[in-house]
Amino acid sequence: MAMTTHYPFKNILLVDDDEISTLISSTLLKHAKLATQIQSVYNGKEAIEYLTKECSENKFCPSLLFLDLNMPVMDGFEFLEAYTHNERLSQMDLSIVVLTSSAHSKDKEKVSQYPIKGFITKPITPEKIQAIFS
């Protein structure tokens, strides 16, 4: 992926309980200049709360969300279910990309019923990002 000087997304939210994975993803996304600002939360429940609060206060409302599937408290599947059934959140202009260590076809099939932009297995790479957005 050619590194560009433009930022196609204003804000990105990473939802992942693995701090190392979040650091790697955040570093790569910053280097790729995919967004002007990147924030992270550690599970689906925190993501729902974050989106509800930040977007209603017009603070950091992301246009792109990278979602892990296997997390404590509220996993990625539960997040997608809650997000989809929340009228206010589901109306947001938000692209969701599943970013997970799970390569199981059943997981990919299960998330395909939700409005996601793509499915990437970790680790994130410039090529995987380009494949989603090309």
Nearest to 42 by CA among 60, 67, 78, 62: 67
Supply the pLDDT for residue 7.
60
C-alpha separations of 37 from 13, 55, 71 in Å: 9, 15, 23
51's tokens: 């989106």
pLDDT digits (tens, 9 = 90+) for 79-113: 999 999 999 888 888 999 999 888 788 999 999 99
Supply the pLDDT for residue 80.
97
CA–CA separation, 119 and 107 (whole Å): 10
Domain residue spans of the chain: 9-133
Residue 8 has pLDDT above 80, yes or no: no
- Please, what is the Cα angle at 10 between 93 and 39, to 5 degrees? 95
Which band of pLDDT confidence, cut at 50, 70 and 90, is reported for residue 1?
Answer: very low
Indicate the average pLDDT of the chain. 88
Residue 14 has pLDDT above 80, yes or no: yes
Supply the pLDDT for residue 96.
95
Q: Using a pLDDT cut of 90, give the percent of the chain over it.
A: 54
Supply the pLDDT for residue 4.
45
pTM value is 0.89
Q: CATH number of 9-133: 3.40.630.30, 3.40.50.300, 3.40.50.2300, 3.40.50.720?
A: 3.40.50.2300
